[in-house]
């Protein structure tokens, strides 16, 4: 199986390294993407928007022959959903890592602080306690050392979708900050926060208790959880 790993904000393809290795050892082909503007801290991010990130994923899907699984972490979940919308007949499953599908007209997070026209990794005090579970001082230092500013338009551009067949693509949500029971409760109450997920015809919720960056805090367990979903 071809597995395409889409990082969340401030991270490049290399951030998946400890997750990719077990996936490859299990016999899968892994494509850990570095999205436009995240190549380095010196990259030009001025005119890069959300659609540019989606359009960087779709050619990867088109280049692959076997069924494709998309894995999107955090803001990468919105990108994975839009890529599935663009190629619903090529994507066999979308796995959301502490994230979910972003509906038409939604934005990923337009409240993050902008500095010099881009969005650097904020101070830890700007995050909720749930975000930072298991992210000890060593991991925080590592994260900040590898973090690359996010293009501001990726954080604030509106999601554009067009093919209702995206709802036919099976989905796995790996629940980290909030347990699956909590997420299911929101679904049962028809919370607008997860309205797009509620439209998916075939979804499952899997717990992986940790903070918002399981590829850093629990990479081996994240890989195992992804493998379980892929085996569906």
Is residue 174 within 8 Å of 95, Cβ to Cβ?
A: yes
List beta partners, residue 106.
none
- What pLDDT was estimated at residue 162? 97
pLDDT of the residue at 24: 98
Q: What is the number of domains present in the chain?
A: 1
Range of the domain at 182: 2-230
Kindly tell me if the per-residue pLDDT of 110 is higher than 80.
Answer: yes
What pLDDT score was predicted for residue 65? Answer: 86
Q: What is the 3-state secondary structure (H, E, C) of 175-214?
A: ECCCCHHHHHHHHHCCCHHHHHHHCCCCEEEEECCCCCCH
Rounded CA-CA distance 108/188 in Å is 23
Residue 84's DSSP bridge partners are none
- Separation CA 190–CA 154 (nearest Å): 27
Q: Where is 69: in which H helix or E strand?
A: strand 68-73
Q: Are 158 and 105 in contact (CB under 8 A)?
A: yes
Average pLDDT (91-115) is: 97
Q: What is the pLDDT of residues 116-175, one digit of tens each?
A: 999 999 999 999 999 999 999 999 999 999 999 999 999 999 999 999 999 999 999 999
Q: What is the CATH number of the domain that holds 47?
A: 3.40.50.1820
Q: Give the distance, in angstroms, between the CA of residue 36 and the centroid of all CA atoms in the same chain.
A: 15
Query: Is 139 within 8 Å of 62 (Cβ atoms)?
Result: no
Q: Do residues 108 and 154 touch, judged by C-beta distance below 8 A?
A: yes
The confidence score (pLDDT) of residue 175 equals: 98
- What phi and psi values does residue 219 have, to the nearest 5 degrees? -60, -40
- Chain-centroid distance of CA 214 in Å reads 11
Length of the chain: 232
pLDDT tens profile 44-101:
999 999 999 999 999 999 999 878 999 999 999 999 999 999 999 999 999 999 999 9
Residues 11-46: tens digit of each pLDDT: 999 999 999 999 999 999 999 999 999 999 999 999
Q: State the Cα–Cα distance between residues 110 and 177, nearest whole angstrom.
A: 20
Mean pLDDT, the chain, integer: 97
Please give the C-alpha separations between residue 55 and each of 84, 216, 222, in angstroms, as whole numbers: 11, 27, 26
Cβ atoms within 10 Å, residue 21: 14
Residues 169-212 have pLDDT tens digits of 999 999 999 999 999 999 999 988 899 999 999 999 999 999 99
pTM equals 0.97
């Amino acid at each position: 199986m071809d597995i395409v790993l889409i990082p969340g904000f401030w991270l490049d393809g290399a951030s998946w390294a400890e997750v990719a290795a077990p996936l490859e050892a299990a016999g899968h082909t892994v494509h850990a993407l570095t999205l436009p503007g995240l190549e380095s801290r010196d990259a030009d991010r001025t005119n890069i928007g959300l659609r540019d990130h989606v359009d960087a994923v779709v050619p990867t899907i088109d280049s692959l022959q076997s069924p494709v699984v998309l894995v999107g972490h955090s803001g990468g979940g919105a990108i994975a959903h839009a890529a599935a919308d663009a190629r619903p007949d090529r994507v066999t499953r979308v796995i959301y890592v502490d994230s979910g599908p972003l509906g038409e007209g939604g934005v990923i997070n337009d409240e993050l602080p902008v500095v010099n026209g881009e969005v650097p990794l904020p101070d830890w005090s700007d995050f909720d306690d749930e975000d930072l579970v298991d992210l000890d001082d060593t991991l925080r230092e590592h994260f900040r050392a590898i973090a690359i500013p996010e293009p501001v338009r990726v954080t604030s551009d509106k999601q554009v979708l067009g093919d209702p067949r995206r709802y036919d693509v099976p989905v796995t949500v790996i629940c980290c900050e909030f347990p699956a029971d909590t997420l299911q409760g929101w679904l049962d109450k028809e919370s607008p926060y997860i309205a797009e997920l509620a439209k998916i015809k075939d979804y499952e919720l899997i717990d992986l208790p940790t903070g918002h960056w399981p590829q850093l805090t629990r990479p081996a367990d994240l890989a195992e959880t992804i493998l379980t979903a892929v085996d569906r």
